[in-house]
Chain A
Amino acid sequence: MQNNIELYFSALTQNETFARAVIAAFAAQMNPSIEELSDLRTAVSEAVTNAIIHGYERDGSRCVKMRCTIDGDLLTVAVRDDGCGIPDVELARKPFYTSKPELERSGMGFAVMEAFMDRVTVESALGKGTTVTMEKRICHAER
């Protein structure tokens, strides 16, 4: 049976630490290794940061949605914003590309998500928003 949680929170960067704590607490039942937990926390942090500073351009009155699903040993996290959308997803996913060089972003957000999760898919529509869906098999899971 699937286990789901859904979380809505204001698009404020101080909620990044909260989002990381939530994914770690939810994934704990899968008995992950310390490294797997670290990977999950980092990937979620990247996706949430993108939603806040790119999707919503730091408009803290907007809401980020995070949906997490456990299905056997597979953990799926979908981070959604209803913000501006990404004009060119392929370009945005390229390492070192950033649309906000003035913020000193490293342009490594998607590269980190891809390195630390097994699968990352991005659905985006201009003016409608972006959903980043990330999957990871937790090898330490009890079967």
Chain B
Amino acid sequence: MEINAQKRGSGLVASLVGELDQHNAEKARIMLDTMLRDITIRDLTLDLSGVTFMDSAGLGVVLGRYKTIHMRGGRVIVTGVSAAVDRIFRMSGIYTLVERR
């Protein structure tokens, strides 16, 4: 799992590359939380175009970051959502919390 991040104003765009399963979810969580220690970040965009696989562990990563960002009054946006990732997002109802662009 690789994450490339870029801060633009109060927003962070994090591009995830790899398979987001339980094994990589732990790494992704640590990397994202390290970036989110910067409390000037309000909005988080997760670019998932490089995610080749995702299961419910990936949902946990997105939901966990949503909690952090929501407490700051910010928004979480997901982009680059593949058909397979979209299926799991839709069945989980995560789009009521996280915006897809």
Contact = CB atoms under 8 A, between A and B. Distances in A.
Interface of A: 13-14, 16-17, 20, 35, 38, 41-42, 45-46, 49, 52-53, 103-109, 111-112, 115-116
Interface in B32-82: 53-57, 59-61, 63-64
Q: Tell me what chain B mostly uses at the interface: helix, strand, loop, or mixed.
A: helix
30 contacts: A13-B21, A13-B23, A17-B21, A20-B53, A35-B83, A35-B84, A41-B53, A42-B88, A45-B22, A46-B55, A46-B56, A49-B21, A49-B55, A49-B56, A49-B57, A53-B22, A104-B29, A104-B61, A104-B63, A106-B56, A106-B92, A108-B56, A108-B59, A108-B91, A108-B92, A111-B91, A112-B55, A112-B91, A115-B91, A116-B87
Given A106-B57, A109-B55, 4 more contacts: A45-B55, A49-B55, A107-B56, A108-B92
A106 B91 contact: no
B25 to A, nearest CB: 8
Contacts, number: 69
A52 B55 CA distance: 15
B23 A14 contact: yes
B84 A42 contact: yes
B19 interface: yes
Contacts of A16: 21-23
A42 B25 CA distance: 14
B91 A49 contact: no
